[in-house]
Structures are given as structure tokens and as C-alpha cells.
Amino acid sequence: MKLYHYALSGHAHRAALFLSLSGLPHELIDVDLAAGQHRRPEFLALNAFGEVPVLEDSGIIIADSLAILLYVARRIGPSHWLPGEPAVEAEIQRWLAVAAGKVAYGLCAARLITVFGAHFDPREVMQRAHATLAVMEHTLERWQWLARTVQPSIADVALYSYTASAPEGNVDLAPYPHVRRWLSCIEQLPGFVPFQQTSAGLRAAVEE
């Protein structure tokens, strides 16, 4: 397997993290976004949207971080990452939708403002980020993992990267002890790989 990857992308990190957790052999191929590699014809042939990550597996191309999680989970076979029980799988899919929506336009967008200078309404994205964290905190008060499973699932992988990097977007995790405990649990899993940090947002304030 080859994963086309960019180290500062949370979308790319969630795919790289799950590949590492899965134990499946893979190679990370860095895509230089600053140099415009994602807009070159050879990359657009892999993903017409010009976005990372992209997974290539023996001629099969999967272009989307959440699709990659689903694909890799199926490649592993039956496991706790994507259980076959309909109710559990539906709960996992619900959290994948949160990752694609509320997280993308909340925690992720807040980080895009501080790290990449993106033009979003800071108040709007911060409100969305904290509203999402509040629901996560409430869930994790009663359950160790987001999809209410005994072991971690791809739902946890999907939300990890942008939650862990929330302080880079000026989103304080201090009010969410159960979320912080959950992050620590993921970080202790065999095969865990950290998301590259930047000195932005609250982390910049700490370093000063």
C-alpha cells in the first residue's frame, strides 16, 4: 500500500495513523502542497479534487480519508475497528459523519485559521468546535470509546487528529477531562503515530 500524505494535514494523519495501528505494510509518500504537487496531472489522476490523502493498493485508488479508514478496516477483516453488528456500525457511521461535518467545520477550521491563514469566521468555528467537544465529553463520561464500543473503532481514529491538535486552533481542551483521557488512551495503542505539531494558537502562547 502507498499513502500519499502531507504531514500537517489532519485528514492525512488519520489515514496514516490507522494504517500504522492496523499493522498492514504501507509506504508514506509525501506530497509537497506548497510546491503544488497536488495540482499536477499525475496526482490529479489519483484524486481529481487534488486533495490528500490518497491510498493506492495494488491498482485500487481510494481518495478520501474516511473512505480510507473504511477500506483498511475491511482489508483487516472482522475486527473491533469496524464490527459487523448493525447498531454498532450505524453508531460508527454517525461519528464518521461528525468527522466530515462538525469537526471539519469546527476543530479543523479553527486550526486552518491559525496554521494556514484560512478565511473562516473565528467565532462561528469556535462555537462549533466547543459544541462538538461538549457532545464528545458527554459521551465519554459513560463510555471509553466514542461509538460506545469495548475496544476502539475507526470512529475514534477519525476524530483523534483534529481533537488532539485543537490547541493549535486556540481551542482549549482543559474543560474536557474525558476527552483528554480518551486522547491518552489512543496515544497508548500499539502502533500509534503522533500528529506533527506546530507552534500556533494556544501552543504558541505556551512556548512564549
CATH number at residue 57: 3.40.30.10
Q: Which residues contact 197 (CB under 8 A, 6 or more apart)?
A: 165, 168, 203
Confidence of residue 205 (pLDDT cuts 50, 70, 90): low
State which amino acid sits at residue 198.
T
Q: Is 66 helix (H, G, I), strand (E, B) or coil?
A: helix
Contacts for 23 with CB less than 8 Å, ≥ 6 apart: 191
Give me the mean pLDDT over the 191-202 stretch.
Answer: 95
Per-residue pLDDT for 207 more than 60? no
Picking from 32, 53, 76, the residue at the C-terminal end of a domain is: 76
Residue 28 domain flag: yes
Give the number of domains in the chain: 2
105-156 pLDDT per residue, tens: 999 999 999 999 999 999 999 999 999 999 999 999 999 999 999 999 999 9
* Residue 140 domain-assigned (yes or no): yes
- Clarify whether residues 56 and 97 are in a common domain: no
Which one of 19, 53, 76 terminates a domain?
76
**Mean pLDDT value across the chain:** 96
**Tens digit of each residue's pLDDT (9 = 90 or more) over 67-104:** 999 999 999 999 999 998 999 999 999 999 999 999 99
The answer to whether the bond into 175 is cis (omega within 30° of 0) is no
**pLDDT for the residue 203:** 83
Q: Using the 3D structure, point to which of 76, 102, 119 is the last residue of a domain.
A: 76
> Does residue 8 belong to any structural domain of this protein?
yes
In a domain, residue 13? The reply is yes
Question: Residues 6 or more apart from 26 whose CB is under 8 A from it?
Answer: 1, 2, 3, 19
Which domain covers residue 169, as residue numbers?
86-207
pTM of the model: 0.95
Residue 208 has pLDDT above 60, yes or no: no
Which residue, among 20, 15, 23, has the nearest Cα to 31 in the 3D structure?
A: 15
The C-alpha angle with vertex 85 and arms to 178 and 188, in degrees rounded to 5, equals 35
Q: Is residue 206 scored above 80 in pLDDT? A: no
Give the number of other CB atoms < 10 A from CB of residue 123.
8
